[in-house]
């Protein structure tokens, strides 16, 4: 894999709201690498710095310090003219669509092509291709004010693809949409990546969007990257507190202290948590180890989830029987299933 976007020690500061106020450091020493052909998600709560970060990538904001390298070119060293040329290779999809409401769908797609100096005949062919690709061929001459939110975002994606970019920046592209439309737009972004080979940087505060289409994810908090890795690894074993909060919004398989206390009150035996991963043995094989040793088990909390064809999850069991038998069963499954006693 080859890095298409690299951020090295990037800092972005804004002046205080009033004279004498300290500067606000929105991005604080970020190192990040996005590989060619992947969908890389950057997730964080409001104010984490993720939208500022994406504006640094396409040089809509200058960095305070550090470097932003795109396809081997350090954008922080470029002139404004060179930056304009660079931006032709970077598509941008916005939360609020940013379409020209006075124009038709066709007119919105024609605009970036005209700016890029594309001739009329080539424009017509390109726009027709794009409208068919995003499923809006029948809306070519509709005004954008007559479109639904999902249709507007499809136009926004088509417009971002007009100049054949090699990277697409999607900044909260689904935040203004309902759940069903969100799924449709995410599926379209996945299609862009899969069929066109375009690298996508997905900025979001929705972990479900990350789970659905991203390959890797970086978690931001207070301007810093606090955790990064393949999506399955981050979901299965979140290390940072803010990551665990995000994962908890879509996967509720780990009881908190209050729930654990209630489980102890209502279920006799030892509470043990089993961590299942794609590479581990199946649940039935783990349960068979308990049965062979006359260990009773009851599933009291947890669940198994799937991310892009890979399964994982945590199951909390109440085990009853002789301690020696329980220990022997846990020792048998330990090579393939991680387990812990629940405190």
Q: Is residue 238 part of a domain?
A: yes
Query: pLDDT band for position 303 (50/70/90)?
Result: confident
pLDDT in the model for residue 298: 93
pLDDT in the model for residue 338: 85
Asked if 267 and 237 sit in the same domain, the reply is no
Residue 323, domain extent: 257-341
For 145, the enclosing helix (H) or strand (E) is: none
Asked if 24 and 52 sit in the same domain, the reply is yes
At 68-84, the pLDDT tens digits run 999 999 999 999 889 88
Asked if 283 and 205 sit in the same domain, the reply is no
Q: Is residue 84 part of a domain?
A: yes
pLDDT in the model for residue 218: 96
Query: pLDDT band for position 280 (50/70/90)?
Result: low
pLDDT in the model for residue 283: 81
Q: Report d(CA 99, CA 145) in Å as an integer.
A: 9
At 99-125, the pLDDT tens digits run 998 899 999 999 999 988 889 999 999
pLDDT at 309 over 90: no
Asked if 243 and 265 sit in the same domain, the reply is no
264-292 burial code (b ≥16 CB/10 A, e <16): eeebebbbbbbbbbeebeebeebbebbee
CATH number at residue 335: 3.30.70.260
Q: Report d(CA 136, CA 157) in Å as an integer.
A: 11
Asked if 217 and 291 sit in the same domain, the reply is no
Query: pLDDT band for position 14 (50/70/90)?
Result: very high
pLDDT in the model for residue 244: 87
> How high is the mean pLDDT of the chain?
91
Q: Is residue 266 part of a domain?
A: yes
Estimate the share of the chain in helix, then strand, then coil, as percent rounded to the nearest 5.
40, 30, 30
Q: 213, 248, 283 — which closes off a domain?
A: 248
pLDDT at 281 over 80: no
List, as own/partner pairs, every contact residues 68-77 make where C-beta atoms lie below 8 angstroms and the sequence separation is at least 24, other chains included: 68/5, 68/6, 68/7, 68/8, 68/10, 69/3, 69/5, 69/6, 69/7, 69/8, 70/4, 70/5, 70/6, 70/167, 71/4, 71/166
Asked if 169 and 313 sit in the same domain, the reply is no
Lowest average pLDDT, out of 103-107, 234-238, 308-312, goes to 308-312
Q: Looking at the 3D structure of the chain, how many domains does it have?
A: 2
Between 284 and 243, whose confidence is greater?
Answer: 243
Lowest average pLDDT, out of 138-142, 180-184, 188-192, 310-314, goes to 310-314
Asked if 169 and 235 sit in the same domain, the reply is yes
Asked if 241 and 337 sit in the same domain, the reply is no
pLDDT in the model for residue 85: 86
CATH number at residue 65: 3.40.50.300
**C-beta neighbour count of 198 within 10 angstroms:** 20
At 128-141, the pLDDT tens digits run 999 999 999 999 99
Q: Is residue 212 part of a domain?
A: yes
Q: Report d(CA 228, CA 217) in Å as an integer.
A: 6
At 17-53, the pLDDT tens digits run 788 888 899 999 999 999 999 999 999 998 899 999 9
Q: Is residue 107 part of a domain?
A: no
3-state SS class at 144: helix
Asked if 53 and 185 sit in the same domain, the reply is yes
Asked if 54 and 193 sit in the same domain, the reply is yes
Q: Report d(CA 203, CA 44) in Å as an integer.
A: 8
pLDDT in the model for residue 297: 93
Asked if 17 and 52 sit in the same domain, the reply is yes
Query: pLDDT band for position 316 (50/70/90)?
Result: very high
Percent above pLDDT 70 for the chain: 99
Q: Is residue 158 part of a domain?
A: no
Asked if 235 and 327 sit in the same domain, the reply is no
Q: 196, 228, 248 — which closes off a domain?
A: 248
Q: What is the CA radius of gyration of the chain?
A: 25
Mean pLDDT of 195-210: 94
Q: 221, 248, 275 — which closes off a domain?
A: 248
Edge-to-edge strand ranges of the sheet holding 199-204: 90-93, 167-171, 199-204, 39-43, 216-221, 224-230
Q: Are 79 and 86 in contact (CB under 8 A)?
A: no
**Tokens standing for 49?**
């710095």
Q: Is residue 196 part of a domain?
A: yes
pLDDT in the model for residue 1: 57
Q: Is residue 117 part of a domain?
A: no
**Tokens standing for 223?**
């301007």
Lowest average pLDDT, out of 151-165, 245-259, 260-274, goes to 245-259
């Amino acid at each position: 894999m080859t890095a298409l976007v690299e951020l090295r020690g990037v800092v972005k500061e804004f002046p205080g709201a009033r004279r004498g106020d300290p500067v606000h450091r929105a991005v604080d020493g970020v190192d990040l690498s996005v590989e060619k052909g992947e969908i890389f998600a950057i997730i964080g709560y409001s104010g984490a710095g993720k939208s500022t970060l994406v504006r640094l990538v396409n040089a809509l904001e200058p960095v305070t310090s550090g470097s932003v390298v795109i396809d081997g070119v350090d954008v922080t060293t470029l002139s404004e003219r060179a930056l304009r040329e660079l931006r032709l290779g970077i598509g941008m999809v916005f939360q609020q669509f940013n379409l020209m409401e006075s124009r038709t769908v066709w007119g919105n797609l024609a605009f970036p092509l005209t700016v890029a100096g594309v001739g009329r005949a080539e424009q017509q062919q390109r726009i027709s291709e794009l409208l068919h690709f995003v499923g809006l061929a029948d809306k070519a001459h509709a005004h954008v004010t007559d479109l639904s939110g999902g249709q507007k975002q499809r136009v926004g994606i088509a417009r971002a693809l007009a100049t054949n970019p090699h990277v697409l920046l999607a900044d909260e592209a689904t935040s203004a949409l309902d759940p069903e439309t969100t799924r449709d737009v995410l599926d379209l972004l996945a299609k862009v990546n899969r069929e066109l080979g375009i690298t996508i940087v997905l900025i979001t505060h929705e972990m479900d969007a990350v789970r659905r289409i991203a390959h890797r994810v970086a978690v931001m908090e207070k301007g810093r990257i606090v955790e990064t890795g393949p999506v399955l690894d981050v979901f299965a074993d979140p290390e940072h507190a803010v990551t665990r909060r995000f994962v908890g919004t879509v996967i509720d398989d780990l009881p908190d202290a209050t729930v654990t206390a209630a489980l102890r009150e209502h279920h006799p035996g030892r509470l043990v948590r089993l961590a299942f991963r794609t590479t581990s043995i199946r649940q039935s094989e783990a349960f068979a180890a308990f049965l062979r040793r006359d260990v009773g088990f009851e599933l009291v909390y947890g669940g198994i989830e799937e991310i892009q064809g890979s399964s994982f999850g945590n199951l909390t069991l109440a085990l009853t029987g002789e301690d020696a038998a329980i220990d022997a069963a846990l020792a048998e499954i330990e090579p393939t299933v991680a387990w812990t006693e629940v405190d």
